[in-house]
Structure 1
Amino acid sequence: MKKLSEQEIEKKLEKLEGWEFVDNAIETSFQFDNFKEAFTVMTRIAFECEAQGHHPDWSNVYNSLSISLSTHDAEGVTEKDFKLAQSIEDVIEGDKK
């Protein structure tokens, strides 16, 4: 998969609220009411990651979740990262309903 240019990344980020291009990856974070809610969302995201065969660098501390996406084989951000980012957003939105 082709590594995207910084201009391409910035353009695509316009459609993903709360995501930023940092250290050759796209990143975001979420806050939840408690640990159980954060972990439940992480589990849902994990199933989507497995389905796409693409896995984030992420961390969880109590009610916060930080996610960083890059395609290691391409040494940068690719369409694959944006596809997973959108899926993550869909999971988060689904939890708010």
Structure 2
Amino acid sequence: MDAHELAQQHCTPQKGAHKRLTGDTLATHLRSVPGWIEADNHISKDFQFADYAQVVAFVNQVAALAAAEDHHPDIMFGFNRVRVVFTTHSVRGVSINDLICAARIEAMRDL
């Protein structure tokens, strides 16, 4: 599934270890969202911006996406940088929802 296909989907409830993406399946999906990396049962990406106003605007866009999808990342930010971290607690790792949100963030940045 490519980034465009992922970005067209919406999050759905994911429960249980059988919904966790690992190994080759996760690696294949991660290739669809360049710059996102997997570590310790989550995916994350660091973003750089010219100034704080751009940081805040981006964080607000990610927060709106998270609210709409009911799938909430950890977001850390400073003067010109943002780190977004997704994990699905109910599967104790990465699920398709994390990748959908990553793809939607990438699509949002392409606008």
TM-score by length of 1: 0.92
Choose the corresponding residue for 2:51, options 34, 52, 55.
34
Alignment-mate amino acid for residue 86 of structure 1:
A
Please list every run of 5 or more consecutive structure 1 residues that lacks an aligned counterpart in the other structure: none
Q: Give the total of aligned pairs.
A: 94
* Distance across 2 between alignment mates of 1:45 and 1:17: 17
Deviation at 1:46, TM superposition (A): 0.8
Query: What code does the residue aligned with 2:77 have?
Result: N
User: Are 1:58 and 2:75 an aligned pair?
Assistant: yes
Name segments (4+ residues, structure 1) moved above 6 Å.
none
For normalisation by structure 2, the TM-score amounts to: 0.81
Asked whether the 8 Å contact 2:21–2:95 carries over to 1, the reply is yes
Instruction: Could you tell me which runs of 5 or more consecutive residues in structure 2 were left unpaired when the two chains were aligned.
Output: 1-13
Structure 2 Cα separation of the partners of residues 58 and 47 of structure 1 = 13
- CA displacement 1:13-69 (0-9 Å, x = unmatched): 111111111111111010000010011011011111100000001200111000111
Quote the offset at 1:5 in angstroms.
Answer: 1.8
Higher relative contact order (CA 8 A, sep 6+): 2
Give the fraction of aligned pairs with identical amino acids, expressed as a percent: 28
Work out which of the residue numbers 72, 78, 88 in structure 1 matches 2:89. 72
Give the corresponding residue for 1:86. 103
